[in-house]
Structure 1
Amino acid sequence: MSDSVLFEERATASGHRIGIARLNSPRSLNSLSRTMISLLEDKLTEWEQDDGIVCVWLEGEGERAFCAGGDIVEMYRSMTPLGEANPFIEDYFASEYRLDYLLHVYEKPLICWAHGVVMGGGMGLMQGASQRVVTEKSRLAMPEITIGLYPDVGGSWFLNRTPGKTGLFAGLTGVHLNAGDALFMGLADVCIPSDQRDAVLASLAAATFAGDETQDAAVVHRCLRAAAAPAPASPVRERFDEINQACDHATLPEVAAALLALKGDDEWFQRAASTFERGCAQTAWLVWEQLQRARYLSLAEVFRMEWCMSVQCAMHADFREGVRALLIEKDGNPAFRYTSIEDVPRAYIEGFFANPLPHHPLADL
């Protein structure tokens, strides 16, 4: 069996057990391979059905990252000629989103120790957890605009639930968020110092659980809050009014103009606006459309929509070109199809929401 995810069960004072799952690919910042997704889904399903398991702890190996995203390099190697079906991509995204959905609806307390880098697919895992823990070293982002994808893994769901226009801003700019930002935006539940990880696990093991989801969730909540500490200041909170003003326009071109106008003396805004300016115009439209279309969708409908979008991205040129430029050849100069938002045809973006298969692989969610 692969050791890319390590599993452990720890006894509690009440005779129950805590399930611990650790992503174990630190050299790739714990990027999610197809194998890791399968291992997690199988074990989490097993633990959910085991009356002896009262809560689950999900973390990443090493100090650098919880999970930096999906295994984009693996996807790139699977790429087929443009416009052709790609069975690996179809299966990868269906499996990843099925796992993300499982986390969202998990019937036991699920703690995500989101220490270090949390991007893309890592955000998908984190946002499904019932207790999302950040530390002073947490760095969250959905930076897909740099590679021609879009904020998937449920981004249509959780970015639509942030205060004001901060979710749209995060999706368009790929801005890096600290623990304070995550708490302010509702993307995390509690901040705990990173050196308290062992102590928190020890307090959970010393706790008395009841084997009842509601009571056990309260036990987990109290253990985590007992170790909480103030988070660093939130740059997003400090700039909340300016972010809302920039992103509250009727059309994407108007928002784009307002974002570029933020490139003034504020270094934080400069970085965000510059990332947007250099980013993929196709992605900007996908972010705009996904958040508009998903406002009243169910969680299952969100993942079904995103599967179509992701598979379509793999069938179009910008995703592979972005991966090539940033992760494969690393020249940092992607030649995206459209150079400006105004040049992207409406019909072109509509095509990303079409199901390329006669039967949807997530129809049963």
Structure 2
Amino acid sequence: MSALVLFEELTAGAGKVGRATLSVEATLNSLTLEMVDLLQQQLDSWLVDDDIRAVFIDAAGEKAFCAGGDVQALHASAVATPGGPCDYAEVFFAREYRMNYTLHTYPKPIICWGHGIVMGGGLGVMAGCSHRIVTERTRIAMPEVTIALFPDVGGSWFLNHMPGEAGLFLALTGASINASDALYTGIADRFIANEHKAAVLDALLSTTYSNEADTNHGLVNAALRPFAAASESDKPEGQVEPHMAVINQLCDGDSIHDVIDQITALDTDDSWLSRARDSLAQGSKLAALWIARQLWETRHASLREVFQAEVQLATNVVRYPEFAEGVRALLIDKDRNPAWTFAASRDVPEDLLAGFFTSPWDSNPLADLS
């Protein structure tokens, strides 16, 4: 079997650049537990290797950087033991979030080439890197409301750091965004046309790196900057910034129920807004509530606390039947007719929602993050 993730150590002056390539093009490079473990092990190894001055993460194929986690495997784990523990799914979440935290806190520069579809777990990888590149074909979304999950993999961090109510709106609706939106909302750093990828890699390998990680971040910026300038004319029109007034208005309610009502009742001819509206309307109202509450509860949390809160919510969610039903309807039977537990958000009992935010174990599996 071919490698799920390809690793190379490329000569760069007196040092090296480590390259990790997600290499399961047939599944749009969706993350499995084995891929998460491979990335974690290699990042840990490169961290203590003084020869490795920077890391470059990309993916095989032109369609996707990474379309998310292996949701069908998570579904199988959920239905195997209804009510939990759901061993595979829970181990997957804990190890995936640990790897995401490693990316966010990595002292060496990590350049991510986020070309094509970047969804769910793929966005978790990209968002954690220090130099996040998007292209003219980047398509980002976290449509977890449609399968009764929530924007995890650090979503509670980066969504809460977006301007205005953009994070809440994108989390509730799963709206698709492009490279310009990624720059505006802060989940990407540079737009570079995909045709420059080989030249960018050559420039990174031609750089004379320092022994100091901080200096090397600046050197990576210097290598990337001319390509971003040359790509300016290829940048697509954004959707989020032009719609911010409407987004802020829709998300201004006396309760989350009002916000959901305002979005789902929106009367518009705007295709981007109408798709966002329909996604929330068709999604799980229970999930919409835990999505909003998770963002509220982590709004002042540290990165460490964010991942601890996410693994708690993910564990509780995967043990509840709503998630399995959402995946069944959207990805397995594909009838797109999920039998959600509640027809409206106001039907959800408060004590049921509160249960998702209660620890299911004596000790959080990410309690040792530092």
- TM class by shorter-chain length? over 0.9
Structure-to-structure mapping, 1:294-309, within 5 angstroms: 294-309=298-313
Q: Which residue of 2 aligns with 1:110?
A: 110
Unaligned 5+ segments in structure 1 are none
Stretches of structure 2 that go unaligned for 5 or more consecutive residues are none
Instruction: Give 1:82 deviation, angstroms.
Output: 2.3
1:81-117 per-residue CA deviation (whole Å, 9 max, x = no partner) reads 3213112122111100000000000010001111000
TM-score, with normalisation over the residues of structure 1?
A: 0.98
Amino acid corresponding to residue 318 of structure 2 in structure 1: A
* Secondary structure of the corresponding residue to residue 235 of structure 1: coil
Q: Is the 8 A contact 1:148 1:282 kept in 2?
A: yes
In 2: Cα distance, 1:96 partner to 1:40 partner: 10
- Is residue 226 of structure 2 the alignment partner of residue 226 of structure 1? yes
Cα distance per residue 1:128-155 (max 9 Å; x no partner): 0001100000001111000000111111
Which residue in 2 is equivalent to 1:166?
166
- What is the identity, as a one-letter code, of the residue corresponding to 2:49? D
Check whether the contact 1:263–1:274 (CA below 8 A) recurs between aligned residues: no
1:91 corresponds to: 91
Match of 2:129 in 1: 129
Give the partner amino acid of 2:19: I
User: Which amino acid letter does the alignment assign opposite residue 297 of structure 1?
Assistant: A
Worse overlay, 352-361 or 159-168: 352-361
What is the distance in 2 between the residues matched to 1:81 and 1:87? 9
Letter aligned with residue 127 of structure 1: A
CA distance in 2, matches of 1:317, 1:87: 15
Q: Is the Cα contact below 8 Å between 2:203 and 2:223 reproduced in 1?
A: yes
1:352 aligns with 2:351: no
Equivalent residue letter for 1:269: L
> Could you say if the C-alpha distance between residues 275 and 263 of structure 1 is closer, same or farther in structure 2, counting changes exceeding 3 Å?
farther
Task: Give the CA deviation at 1:309.
Answer: 0.6
Secondary structure, in 3 states, of the residue corresponding to 2:85? coil
Shift of 1:2: 6.4
Deviation, structure 1 residue 308: 0.9
Using the alignment, how far apart are the partners of 1:223 and 1:334 within structure 2? Answer: 48
Report the equivalent of 1:267. 271
Runs of 4+ in 1 over 4 A off after TM superposition: none
Query: Aligned to 1:332, which of 309, 324, 336?
Result: 336
Counterparts of 1:30-179 in structure 2, within 5 Å, are 30-79=29-78, 80-179=80-179
Partner of 2:15: 16
- What amino acid does structure 1 have at the position aligned with 2:64? A
Structure 1 SS opposite 2:291: helix
Match of 1:242 in 2: 246
Greater mean alpha carbon deviation, residues 226-235 or residues 25-34: 226-235
2: distance between equivalents of 1:190 and 1:202?
17
In structure 2, what residue type is equivalent to 1:33? T
Counterpart CA distance in 1 for 2:166 and 2:216 is 33
TM-score, normalization by structure 2: 0.96
What's the offset of the Cα at 1:256? 1.3
Deviation per residue, 1:272-308 (Å, 9 max, x gap) = 1011100111111011101110011111111111101
Give the letter aligned to residue 270 of structure 1: S
Per-residue Cα deviation, 1:215-235 (whole angstroms, up to 9, x for no partner)? 110010111111012221111
Contact 2:73 2:89 in 1 (8 A): no
Match of 2:347 in 1: 343
Percentage of matched positions with identical amino acids: 44
Q: Partner of 2:282 in structure 1?
A: 278
Whether contact under 8 Å (1:263, 1:273) holds in the other structure is no
Name the aligned partner's letter for residue 314 of structure 1.
V
Q: Please give the secondary structure, in 1, of the residue aligned with 2:356.
A: helix
